[in-house]
Amino acid sequence: MKIVMLGAPGAGKGTQAKKIAAEYNIPHISTGDIFRANIKNGTELGKRAKAYMDEGKLVPDSLTLELIMDRFAEPDCASGYVLDGFPRTIAQAEALAKSLADKGDKLDFAIDVDVPDEKIVTRMSGRRACAACGGTFHIKYNPTKVEGICDLCGGELMIRDDDKPETVQKRLSVYHEQTQPLIDFYNNAGILMTVDGTQDVDVVFNSIMQILK
């Protein structure tokens, strides 16, 4: 079961990716995790990625793809994986498809967790993070016992810059410009499946299970 997750920032694709991975006992693979693991372990690919990051540059697509394909070659990916956060552009999607095809492989599903922009802005602007321990909450979906105070450590909660409405709108604009075309790409490839991400987390997950089974 080889799956790529699609969806705007805040749509909940990361949450669903973890649930799918747990259900099928396959790894949840995010580019951030791959970068951190390779840098921590001092691999050759990790050193190359770190050199770009230390200079404040984006890691090139070609190197990111090398890291991902290297991860796919590990034994725990033998039964499949859930890829989250890559590809973000058509160029990356085409490069990934070619790299997989060169190994006689391909993706089975592209799952788009679809949520309207206005719902995402409401969702993300309600997030609160603890400045002390990093715990995360939501004023509507996961409120703390005492408003503005972390349930875990008693620290003060704050709105992260990433969750401010104006920042969310900018991120959504970038998503629609760069990543939305992936919907058409995977639809044309015949592997796109779309689920309504506005529903409860478990309802969304059950919809995905119906698709995969």
pLDDT in tens, 79-112: 999 999 899 899 999 999 999 999 999 999 999 9
Compute CA distances 164 → 126, 143, 159, whole Å.
9, 18, 7
- What integer pLDDT is reported at residue 2 of this predicted model? 97
Length of the chain, in residues: 213
Domain locations in the chain? Answer: 2-26+79-116+166-212
User: Taking 90 as the threshold, does the pLDDT of residue 31 lie above it?
Assistant: no
pLDDT band at 65 (very low <50, low <70, confident <90, very high): very high
Q: Is 19 a catalytic residue?
A: no
Per-residue pLDDT tens for 142-193?
Answer: 899 999 999 999 999 999 888 888 999 998 998 888 888 999 999 999 999 9
Closest C-alpha to 17, from 201, 199, 168: 201
- What integer pLDDT is reported at residue 134 of this predicted model? 86
Which is catalytic among the residues 2, 13, 71, 128? 13
Q: Is 170 a catalytic residue?
A: no
Could you write out the DSSP letters of every residue in 112-156?
EEE--HHHHHHHHHTEEEETTT--EEETTTB--SSTTB-TTT-PB
CA–CA separation, 108 and 97 (whole Å): 11
Q: Which two tokens stand for residue 51?
A: 């050199």
Q: Is 36 a catalytic residue?
A: no
Which is catalytic among the residues 36, 103, 160, 170? 160
Which is catalytic among the residues 48, 50, 119, 171? 171
- What integer pLDDT is reported at residue 179 of this predicted model? 83
What CATH code would you report for 2-26+79-116+166-212?
3.40.50.300
Q: What is the dihedral of CA 199, 203, 205, 211, to 10 degrees?
A: -100
Q: Is 140 a catalytic residue?
A: no
Which is catalytic among the residues 2, 19, 71, 127? 127
CA–CA separation, 2 and 212 (whole Å): 11
Which is catalytic among the residues 18, 50, 88, 164? 88
